[in-house]
Amino acid sequence: MFFSFGIKDVIDILLVALMLYYLYRLMKESRSLNVFIGIMVFVVVWIFVSQILEMRLLGSIMDKLVSVGVIGLIILFQEDIRKFLYNLGAHQRMRMLISFFASDRGGQKAGHKETIVPIVLACMGMSKRKVGALIVIERTAPLDDVAATGDIIDANINQRLIENIFFKNSPLHDGAMIISKKRIKAAGCILPVSHNLDIPKELGLRHRAALGISQQCDCIAVIVSEETGGISVAMNGAFQLRLSAEKLESILTDALEEQPSARG
């Protein structure tokens, strides 16, 4: 007998294909592609044995392995799953939907200027003196866990304070600064380092750390190179290099204004 094939079946197949594609990307980024291939081979064998050949004993054994294996995979890949779910929630279209229902936008642009201008001026000053710096600006997701790895400051954003924190003899010079809710929340923070093999070799550890935090969180990471004095931005897992003051201000303004304003 011929089975009926309708629009729901097409949607079903497309959704499964989309899910497998995102799982493939997730595993590839985390260097677990071989694990993904092994899981897919096991699933195909399991379906073939239990559904087509109808081997009850072997099928029941594999059913139990799948039940236990799902829990094991969740434990093994908890960080990757967390990253996947976070990226899903932080998707640009999802943020646009949230911002559509958000209210109280009055004065938001002026508030961002008070945050952005001191950062830009500080970066330009450090760039001229080739002082290395890494500033992470919070957007939709809180960075409390990252701030906890450094020293809590909780001060107003000030150009001179930023430059003093990243002064070469400062004990907080080598860590990252976290800016949250228009205040300098912490400094000397430790960031996750990206293992992306496509990062240019001339970029140092600060750039890898900036890319790493931008891959895991919805934030903006501003880097001042200690070797060249060049200013860069890492956002959404990608770099924008060799920025001028005007370009840096434009990037920060656009990035901060597109986020939902209803966060407390």
Residue ranges per structural domain of the chain: 7-89, 105-257
- What integer pLDDT is reported at residue 50 of this predicted model? 77
Contact between 191 and 204 under an 8 Å Cβ cutoff? The reply is no
| Exposed / middle / buried, residue 44 (Cβ in 10 Å: 0-12, 13-18, 19+) | exposed
**In terms of pLDDT, which residue wins out, 46 or 125?**
125
Q: Does the structure show a pLDDT above 60 at 262?
A: no
State the Cα–Cα distance between residues 99 and 110, nearest whole angstrom.
Answer: 18
Question: Which of 54-63, 72-81, 205-214, 251-260 has the lowest average pLDDT?
Answer: 72-81
- Determine whether domain 105-257 maps to CATH 3.40.1700.10: yes
Q: Does the structure show a pLDDT above 50 at 258?
A: yes
State the Cα–Cα distance between residues 20 and 212, nearest whole angstrom.
Answer: 24
Could you read off the pLDDT of 180-195 as tens digits, one per residue?
988 999 999 999 888 7
The runs of H, that is alpha helices, within 130-239 are 144-147, 159-165, 205-216
Q: Grade residue 47 by pLDDT with cuts at 50, 70 and 90.
A: confident
Nearest Cα neighbor of 191 from 168, 170, 222, 165 is 222
Question: Which of 16-25, 170-179, 198-207, 211-220 has the lowest average pLDDT?
Answer: 16-25
- What integer pLDDT is reported at residue 129 of this predicted model? 93
State the Cα–Cα distance between residues 142 and 11, nearest whole angstrom.
Answer: 36
Could you read off the pLDDT of 15-41 as tens digits, one per residue?
888 887 877 776 666 556 677 777 778
State the Cα–Cα distance between residues 39 and 62, nearest whole angstrom.
Answer: 13
- What integer pLDDT is reported at residue 33 of this predicted model? 64
Q: Cite the beta strand spans of the chain per DSSP E.
A: 133-138, 151-156, 176-180, 183-189, 219-224, 231-235, 238-240
Could you read off the pLDDT of 96-144 as tens digits, one per residue?
545 544 444 444 555 578 889 999 999 999 999 999 999 999 988 888 8
